[in-house]
Amino acid sequence: MYKILKVEDCTNSSPVVIEKPQIKRTIEKKDIDTNDNSIPVSIIKNHLKNIQTIQDRIIKNAKNEADKLLKETKKLINELKENAKKTGYNEGYSNGYEEGLKKGIAEGKEKTSSLIAEAREIKNEILNERKNLQKEFECDMISTIIECVKKIIDINIEENSDIIINLIKKGLENYEASDIVTVKVSESDYEYLVKNKDKVLRSLRFIDDINIAKDISLNKGDCIIHTPSGMIDSGLKTQLENLEKALKGVLNEQ
């Protein structure tokens, strides 16, 4: 069962603490069409339904063929019996009956076993195909979920500038040292953050002051916090990457 993701879930996830700071390079944002690399659920369901129909038809045909062979065997036995009777010799009749009986039963068993074995082989192939399709469907579903979350977050970033404040608060929620920290944000978030510095400080318990720095290599929604203990990356992109890894990890455990 899949969980519906909200923007709050992404912005409230645990940050990643990196001991040695590194300078991020500029990453160009690409618009991704979720319809290009994903398979619609309706197509997957129809495909699985068609596979089940084919499987049922094959097994039904195998059973019908087996019944047909048994009827032909009985018919052959009766014909041999009648032919033996016509000879007028009890010995010929008895031999013909026994021979026909054995031959018919042997042929019937051989053909029936062959058809049943073939039906089972096809059934196993169908079951394996269904498992593969399900695996592909789940992988595509995770990719689709992540891309949808990215697009929703992009929209909310444009409409709600307070998201950058929430990201800083989340990144420092477990930091209890009374120090001055440096927060690096994108050029798009810099001006708003400077104007609302007091609002940021009011939301933090142990921080005496923050230095706000503009980093042109960062994208909107990125947030790098430098503290005496190390660097904290609480940006949206990092949190989305961690979410994607977590979802794929759950899938691999199944």
Domain spans in the chain, listed from the N-terminal domain onward: 41-157, 161-253
Residues pairing with 176 in the sheet = none
Position 195 pLDDT exceeds 80: yes
pLDDT number for residue 106: 74
Q: pLDDT averaged over the chain?
A: 71
CATH architecture, domain 161-253: 2-Layer Sandwich (3.30)
How sure is the predictor about 187, in pLDDT bands with cuts at 50, 70 and 90? very high
- Angstrom distance (rounded) from CA 151 to CA 128: 35
15-30 in b/e form (b: 16+ CB < 10 A) is bebeeeeeebeeeeee
Q: Can you say how many angstroms the Cα of residue 138 is from the centroid of all Cα atoms in its chain?
A: 2
Q: Which of 11, 4, 34, 8 is nearest to 242 (CA)?
A: 11
What does the pLDDT look like over 77-136, one tens digit per residue? 777 667 655 655 555 555 666 676 677 677 777 777 777 777 788 878 887 877 777 777
Give the count of beta carbons closer than 10 Å to the beta carbon of residue 204.
16
pLDDT tens-digit map of 64-80:
776 776 677 777 777 76
Q: What is the pLDDT of residues 129-186, one digit of tens each?
A: 777 777 777 777 777 776 766 666 655 555 667 788 888 888 887 777 767 889 999 9
> Whole-model pTM?
0.43
User: For position 144, what pLDDT does the model report?
Assistant: 72
Q: In this predicted structure, what is the pLDDT of residue 214? A: 93
Pair 184, 221: CB distance under 8 Å: no
Kindly indicate the confidence band of residue 9, based on its pLDDT and cuts at 50, 70 and 90: very low
